Amino acid sequence: MKIAVIGTGYVGLVAGTCFAESGHDVTCIDVDLKKIEALKRGQIPIYEPGLEELVHRNIAARRLHFTDDLNAAVGPSQVVFIAVGTPEGETGRADLQYVLNAAEQVGRALRHYTVIVDKSTVPVGTADRVSAAVARNTQYEFDVVSNPEFLKEGAALEDFLKPDRVVIGTNSERARKIMGELYAPFVRTENPILFMDPRSAELTKYAANAMLATRISFMNDIAALCERVGADAEMVRKGMGSDKRIGYSFLYPGIGYGGSCFPKDVKALMATARDVGLEFDLLRAVENTNARQKRCLLTKALKHYGDVSNRTFGVWGLAFKPKTDDMREAPSVELIEGLLGKGARVQCHDPVATEVAQRYFGDRVLYAPTCYDAAEGVDGLFLVTEWNEFRHPDMKRLKALMKSPVIFDGRNVFDPRRARDEGFTYFGIGRGQ
C-alpha cells in the first residue's frame, strides 16, 4: 500500500518506519523543513534502540520517504495516519488543534477514497470531529479510524513489529478490511487485532495507561507504608506478584512515573470524566501519590543531612526510564531542581540524555562523562534511572571516589545488605532504613 504519515515525532516516525519495513511505500510528513532534511540524511531526532538502522535500510530501499509537502504525499495514498502532537491543555484536556488542522489539510488533499487513521492519543469523540473536519474540505469518500498506539519508549520497534494486540476502531467494513490487511504481517503469532467502535478504541488507550499508572502509584503507597511499619517492599512485591490474578508488571516501587504518556493521559482521562459529570477520585489519588513520590529522595536527603547547602551530590540517570533520552516529566528534573534550590551542587551522568538535560539545566549542573566521574567527591549519590550499566558498579571503587558513602537508590537496584556491608549508608524505596 501507499501510506502517508503526518508527524515525524516518536509515534509517527516509528509507525512509518515499521510499515516501510513490512514492504509498504511510506511517506512521512512534517512542517519542520530542517527536521525533514535531517531525516532524509538518516539523522534521527530521537533516541530509540534500533530505529536509526531501520530508517537507513528503508531509505536505501526507497520504501521510506520524507517531505514537507502534505498534498503531494496524501493525494496518492490509500491510508493516511495522523500522528501529530496532542499536548496537555490548561485543564488537563488534550489539545486537538494540531490533529484537527491536519484533518482539514488531509480533506483538501484527498483524490480518492482514503482511510484516515487517528494514531495520536486523542480523547473520546475525536474520530467524529476529525471526520467532520475532513468532510468540510472534500468531495471524496473516506473513513476515519481510531488506531491508538501502545509503544513503550526503549522498546518501540518490538512493540510495533510484535504487538500484544492491535486496536482498531471503525464502523466501516471497507476500512476494517484495509486495516486488517495492513496489520496482518505484525500479528502472525496469533496476537489479536481487536476491532471495535471508534469511541471504545479511543478510550482503550487512556484506560490502559491509567491502569498502569495506578499500579505504579499503588506499589509506591505500599512502599511508603513498608517504611513506616518496618516491612520490606521488595518482599511484599514478590508476595503480591506471585498471585496470577495480579502479576509482577508495573509493581516495582520507585520514584514515580514520568514521560510523555502516563502523566498526560491520566489528566486527560480525568478531564473526559469531568466533562460527563464523573469525578475520577481514584486517578486523583494516583496523581497525588506520584507527585509525592517524585519528592521522596529529596525528602530522605534532607532528613539525613539536615542541610544540603554547599554539599555536592551525584545523580545517575536523567531520562524518565532506561533506553530513551526523554526527560519529559522525569523524576530527575524535580530532584535536581530541588537540590539546586536548596543550595547544593549537582554532577550527573546519563548514557544518552545529556544533550536533552542541557535544555533543562544549562550550566547549573556538571555533566560527567562516566558514572564514576559523577560520583567523584560527592556527599551522596542518587540513582534515578535504572540503566543496566548502573546495576553492578565496583562498590569499592565507588566508595573510594565518594567524599561520603551515602546512596539514595530510587529504583531499588542495589542489594541493601551488600551496600551496607561495603560501608555505605543506604536508602531505598520501602526497604526499611
Q: Using the 8-state DSSP alphabet, how is residue 152 labeled?
A: P
> Hey, do 2-196 and 205-292 end up sharing a CATH topology, with the first three levels equal?
no
pLDDT digits 0-9 by tens, 120-135: 999 999 999 999 999 9
**3.40.50.720, 3.30.360.10, 3.30.70.1060, 3.30.2290.10: which CATH number matches 2-196?**
3.40.50.720
Domain spanning 205-292, CATH architecture: Orthogonal Bundle (1.10)
The C-alpha atoms of residue 18 and residue 14 are separated, in whole angstroms, by: 6
| Three-state secondary structure call for residue 79 | strand
Q: Between vectors from CA 57 to CA 176 and to CA 119, what angle results, nearest 5°?
A: 30
From the candidates 18, 28, 226, 261, give the one annotated as an active-site residue. 261
The C-alpha atoms of residue 295 and residue 301 are separated, in whole angstroms, by: 10
Give the closest residue to 161 by CA, choosing from 152, 169, 170: 152
pLDDT level of residue 90 (50, 70, 90 thresholds)? confident
Question: What pTM, to 2 d.p., does this model score?
Answer: 0.92
pLDDT digits 0-9 by tens, 309-339: 999 999 999 999 999 999 999 999 999 999 9
Q: What is the mean pLDDT of residues 266-274?
A: 94
What stretches of 74-207 adopt beta strand conformation (E)? 79-82, 114-118, 142-146, 166-169, 193-196
Q: Is 261 a catalytic residue?
A: yes
Max alpha carbon distance in the chain (Å)? 74
pLDDT level of residue 94 (50, 70, 90 thresholds)? confident
Q: What is the mean pLDDT of residues 335-348?
A: 98
Q: Is the pLDDT reported for residue 433 higher than 70?
A: no
Q: Where are the alpha helices (DSSP H) in 112-197?
A: 126-135, 156-161, 173-183
Give the closest residue to 7 by CA, choosing from 88, 98, 87: 98
pLDDT level of residue 282 (50, 70, 90 thresholds)? very high
CATH match of 295-427 with 3.30.200.20 = no
The C-alpha atoms of residue 21 and residue 430 are separated, in whole angstroms, by: 44
What residue segments make up the domains of the chain, in order of their start? 2-196, 205-292, 295-427
